[in-house]
Amino acid sequence: MKNRAYAQPLFKQSVTQMEELDTIREELGGAYAYAQAGAVALAAGKLTQTAIPVATANNETMQATEAAAIGAYEIGVTFAGAVTVDFYKDGYFWANDAAGEAHRYRIKGHPAGTAVTVALKDPIRVAFVASTSIWTAIQNRQKDVLVCPTTLTGAPIGVCPIVVTEYYYFWNQVKGPATVLFHTGSSGAAAIGNQVVPSNSNTPIAGAVEEADGGDIIPCVGTVLSVNSNTQYGLVNLAIQGY
C-alpha cells in the first residue's frame, strides 16, 4: 500500500508487532512485506524462507463435537499436538477435503492448547461438518522466517535488509533492487541480466543466491543488476513469487 504512514520505520526492527503480518509497503523503488524473524537472528543481505510447516495442523479431521455454520467467525478444532497462544495468528485455515473444501480463511487468533477455538477474520462461507471436514492450518508466510537453507524446507520469501534479532519484527524486501549475498554455483558466476535462485550447488551457502541453470526446479528470486565476487554482496532486482 502506497502513501500512508507506517508505525515502524523501514530499516528498523521492533520487539512489538506494529502492523499485520504480510502488510505490503512500497517505496524506494521496491516492495517490503511486514515480517517476524524466527528463533534465529537474521543477517542483512541474506535470502529468507518461510517457516517449516507444522505437521500437527495438517490434514486433521473435525471431531464429533466440532462444526462451524455459515456466517460463524469461530471454529472449534483439535490439533494433533498442543500449540502456543496465537501461533497461527495472521495465518490461514482451510478445509482441504470434504465439507467446506477449497475455502480459505484468515486466522485472527487462538488460545494455547490442543482442543481450542480458532477466531477467524472472515465469516465461514461453506459449513464445516463434524466428523467429516478435513482441515489444515498454516502460519502466515512472513511469520518465523529463517535464513534460506541450501536445501529448501519452505518457500523463498524475501531478503532481510537489516540485522534482525530473533522474534523481532521487520520489513522483509520482496521486490526491487536489493543487495544479496552471491555464490558461484555449478553453472558458474552470475551474469548481469540473468536469473538467480537460492544457493543450492557447488558447496552452497545458506542465504546466498546463485545463477539459475537449466536443471533448476526451485524458484527464481530475481535478476542480476550488478555482479560482485563469490561471497560478496551484489545487486539483484528481486521478484519474490507471490508479490
CATH number at residue 229: 2.40.300
DSSP reduced 3-state for 35: strand
Residue-level pLDDT at 2: 55
Clarify whether residues 182 and 194 are in a common domain: yes
CATH number where 128 lies: 2.60.40
- Dump pLDDT digits (tens) for 170-216: 999 999 999 999 999 988 888 999 999 999 999 999 999 999 987 77
Decide if 29 is inside a domain.
Answer: yes
133-170 pLDDT per residue, tens: 999 999 999 999 999 999 999 999 999 999 999 999 99
Q: Is 193 within the bounds of a domain?
A: yes
Q: Is residue 6 part of a domain?
A: no
pLDDT computed for residue 217 by the predictor: 83
- 108, 138, 168: which is the final residue of a domain? 138
**Does the pLDDT of residue 95 top 90, yes or no?**
yes
The answer to whether the pTM exceeds 0.85 is yes
Residue entry with cell 551484489: 234
For residue 37, give the C-alpha cell.
524473524
For cell 551474469, name the residue.
191
Q: Which domain holds residue 93?
A: 55-138
List the grid coordinates of 63.
Answer: 471431531
| Residue 146, all three cell numbers | 529463517
Judged on CB neighbours under 10 Å (0-12, 13-18, 19+), 102 is exposed
Domain termination site, one of 138, 153, 180 = 138
For residue 139, the model assigns a pLDDT of: 97
Q: How far apart are CA 243 and CA 237, in angstroms?
A: 13
Residue 17 maps to a domain: no
Would you say residue 8 lies in a domain? no
User: Is residue 34 assigned to a domain?
Assistant: yes
**Strands, sheet with 104-109, edge to edge from the N-terminal-most edge strand:** 60-61, 134-138, 92-97, 104-109, 113-120, 74-83
- The Cα-based distances of 189 to 199, 232, 239 in angstroms read 12, 12, 20
84 occurs within a structural domain: yes
What is the C-alpha separation between 47 and 169, in angstroms, rounded? 16
> Residue 3: which pLDDT band, with cuts at 50, 70 and 90?
low
Rg (CA), the chain: 20
The reply to whether 45 and 101 lie within a common domain is no
- pLDDT surpasses 80 at 19: yes
List pLDDT tens digits, range 37-47: 999 999 999 99
Query: Does position 60 have pLDDT exceeding 90, yes or no?
Result: yes
Report residue 243's pLDDT band, with 50, 70 and 90 as the boundaries.
Answer: very high
Last residue of a domain, one of 138, 154, 176: 138
| Nearest one of 140, 167, 178 to 10, comparing CA atoms | 178
Residue at 13 is within a domain: no
5 contact partners, CB below 8 Å, separation of at least 6: none
Residue 141 amino acid letter: R
- State how many domains the chain has: 2
Residues 227 and 152 in one domain: yes
Residue identified by cell 499436538 is: 81
What secondary structure letter does DSSP report for 193? T
